[in-house]
Amino acid sequence: MLFNSLDFAVFLPIVFVLYWFVTQRNLKIQNILILVSSYVFYGWWDYRFLALITFSTVIDYLIGLQLAKSEDQSKRKLLLWTSILVNIGFLGFFKYYNFFVDNFVEAFSFFGNEIQPNTLYIILPVGISFYTFQTLSYTIDIYKRKLKPTSDFVAFGAFVSFFPQLVAGPIERATNLLPQFYKKREFKYNNAVDGLRQILWGLFKKIVIADNCAYFVNTIFDNYTDYGASTLFLGAVFFAFQIYGDFSGYSDIAIGTSRLFGFNLKQNFAFPYFSRDIAEFWRRWHISLSTWFRDYVYIPLGGSRGSIWNQIRNVFIIFLVSGFWHGANWTFIVWGGLNALYFLPLLIIKRNRVHTNVVAEFKVFPNLKECFGMLFTFIITVIAWVFFRADSVSHATQYLSRIVDVSFFNIPEIRPTFLFVLIFIFILIEWAGRRQLYAIQTLWFRFPRIIRLFIYYLIAMTIFLYGGKEQEFIYFQF
């Protein structure tokens, strides 16, 4: 069920009414409702996916209980590795099996040994990378004794499958989300209104910005040999806005929906395109994944401690693994590697934690240095996004090599004026709201109520009339 579908527009009010009017007196029943709704939501794609998530839930629930009971370190390690192997095993099979087989076959044929590929027709369960990481964090945190396991299976099941963030995050930690299932949720008017506002903004990002960009991105990337350098660059810029609008839009809808039900999820995007360097960008982009890798991979590897070579190694590992997490294709690995290369100079000169505040925090406009920093960071990010979007590494390199051409200074062949205007307005709003959790959170609070309402109606109408052709959320494939 897509957030921007009619199915969800019917599903959400039904669950909302049942949640606050029918089951609100009994926490257990309310959690059961969340669990059942989440399974309906997930099963809407393909009911067969439910078996996988149920299995994963049961395994980690049982392992969690055993981990807490046991004092024997070797047994605890065994339990932890069982959880890791089961979860990563599922992920590996469903997501990476064919990739590895294909690459083995290619490697063998390179050395003159022809072997028949034994690939399988595997449907990738939607959101498997997200809930797998969520359950893994649960067992790892229990293993590290940072968290007590839950004996409440319903609460745990609801935590794993919580429908607002099940298929594309934010990847929640058990330490944050699970305790919220133990407490009675109170309906708070301001939270609910704030949630709706965030949903509205998320829909705008997804339907107006991302889906409209997607149309031109697909045209340009699929026919890149027909266009000049300036159009190709524009295509890459459009993709930067598409992926941001798509993914952060999804996160906004997820967080907003959760707020309607009295839950608080973590912020997943913090205006990443206003970053002054790549390190800041990665603190602001897909925060829940970056912090997951930081806490469960980077720090256990030694993090920023140890020799500079160890630090460089750790940075590469984290970016390459993060790239691979996105998909079974070399393009994602190159994308991760490229970001590691961008990050490296900052690490070496120890300037990777310079920009920890909001850009132009107490000013309206940034200064020249900040402007240059943001522009430079955006451009190198756009270059990396070409690998992310391309079908293959050679597609990406050919695309990029065509950008380096005198035709870069020509007027692009594709000039969708309405999209330029929309993106410009979007950037202005995001800039004005960059100090908040999402751009329009309190942006127009100083205006009279009637003006505010007018703006919200305008956004709603723009979503309706300027909505691009419905596209699935990009991150569902990861």
Partner 1 sequence: MRLFFKKILIFLLAVLLVSFVTDYLISEGLRTSDRYAQGETYIWNQILEGDISEDIYIYGSSRAWVHFDPALIEDSLGMTAYNFGIDGHFFWFQHLRHKLLLKNNPKPKFILLSLDVFTLTKYEDIYALNINDDFYNSKQFSPFILNAEIRQYTSKYKGFSWLDYNLPLYRYYGKTEDLREAIRDKSRPFGDSNFRRKGYRAVGRTWTVDFEKAKSKMVHYEVIKHQPYVDLMNQFLKECRELDIKVIMIYSPEYIEGQEFVKNRVELMNTYTKISKTHQIPFLDYSRDSLCYDQSLFYNSQHLNAKGSKLFSEKLGNDLKEYIFDKSN
Q: Which is nearer to partner 1, 376 or 420 (CB)?
A: 420
Distance in angstroms (rounded) separating the CA atoms of residues 297 and 379 = 28
Give whichever of 187 and 372 is closer to partner 1, judged by the CB atom.
Answer: 187
Alpha carbon 75 to its chain centroid, in Å, reads: 34
Query: By CB under 8 A, is residue 189 in contact with partner 1?
Result: yes
Which 194-213 positions form the footprint of partner 1 (CB under 8 A)?
196, 207, 211
Q: Is 150 left (phi over 0), alpha (psi -120 to 50) or beta?
A: beta
For residue 89, which amino acid is it?
G
Q: How many CB atoms lie within 10 A of CB 452?
A: 16
Contact 94, 124 (CB under 8 A): yes
Q: Does 415 bind partner 1 (CB under 8 A)?
A: no
Active site residue 355: no
Residue closer to partner 1 by CB (options 101, 196) is: 196
- Tell me the CA distances in angstroms from 126 to 33, 47, 91, 413, one per residue in order: 21, 11, 11, 36
Looking from the CA of 237 toward its CB, the CA atoms found within 13 Å total: 18
Q: Which one of residues 183, 418, 449, 450 is an interface residue with partner 1 (CB under 8 A)? A: 418
Q: Considering only 70-78, 364-372, 386-394, 465-473, which stretch makes contact with partner 1 by CB under 8 A?
A: 465-473
Q: Which is nearer to partner 1, 6 or 364 (CB)?
A: 6
Q: Which stretch binds partner 1 (CB under 8 A): 191-199, 304-312, 328-336, 372-380?
A: 191-199
- What does the per-residue mask of binding to partner 1 show for 42-81, with x meaning CB under 8 A? ----------------------------------------
CB 465, min distance to partner 1, A: 5
Query: Nearest-CA neighbor of 319 among 282, 355, 287?
Result: 282
- 299 vs 461 by CB, closer to partner 1: 461
How many residues in the chain?
478
Contact between 469 and partner 1 by CB under 8 A: the answer reads: yes
Cα distance between residue 363 and residue 385, in whole Å: 30
Decide: 354 and 252 in contact? Cβ < 8 Å. no
Q: Kindly state the smallest distance separating residue 468's Cβ from partner 1, in Å.
A: 6
- Show Cβ contacts of residue 326 under 8 Å, excluding neighbours closer than 6 positions: 332, 335, 336, 388, 478
CB of 103 to partner 1, least distance (A): 37
153 binds partner 1 (CB under 8 A): no
Nearer Cβ to partner 1 (406/465)? 465
Asked if residue 447 binds partner 1 (CB under 8 A), the reply is no
Burial of 277 (0-12, 13-18, 19+ CB in 10 A): buried
Binding mask 365-394 for partner 1 (x = CB under 8 A): ------------------------------
- Preceding omega of 149 cis (within 30 degrees of 0): no
CB neighbour class for 316 (10 Å; exposed up to 12, middle 13-18, buried from 19): middle
Q: Does 107 bind partner 1 (CB under 8 A)?
A: no
Choice between 207 and 383, CB closer to partner 1 = 207
321 close to 382: Cβ distance less than 8 angstroms? no
The Cβ of residue 368 has, within 10 Å, a number of other Cβ atoms equal to 7
To the nearest whole angstrom, how small is the minimum distance from the Cβ of residue 223 to partner 1? 19
Q: In angstroms, what is the minimal distance from the CB of 453 to partner 1? A: 8
Binding partner 1 (rule: CB under 8 A), the pick from 120, 349, 368, 465 is 465
Q: For residue 14, report the phi and psi dihedrals to the nearest 5 degrees.
A: -60, -50
Among 286, 326, 355, 395, the active-site one is 326
Shortest spacing between CB 415 and partner 1, in angstroms: 15
Question: Of the ranges 119-127, 186-194, 301-309, 352-360, which one interacts with partner 1 (CB under 8 A)?
Answer: 186-194
Residues lying near partner 1 in the complex (CB under 8 A): 6, 20, 187, 189, 192-193, 196, 207, 211, 418, 453, 457, 460-461, 464-470
Annotated catalytic residues are 326
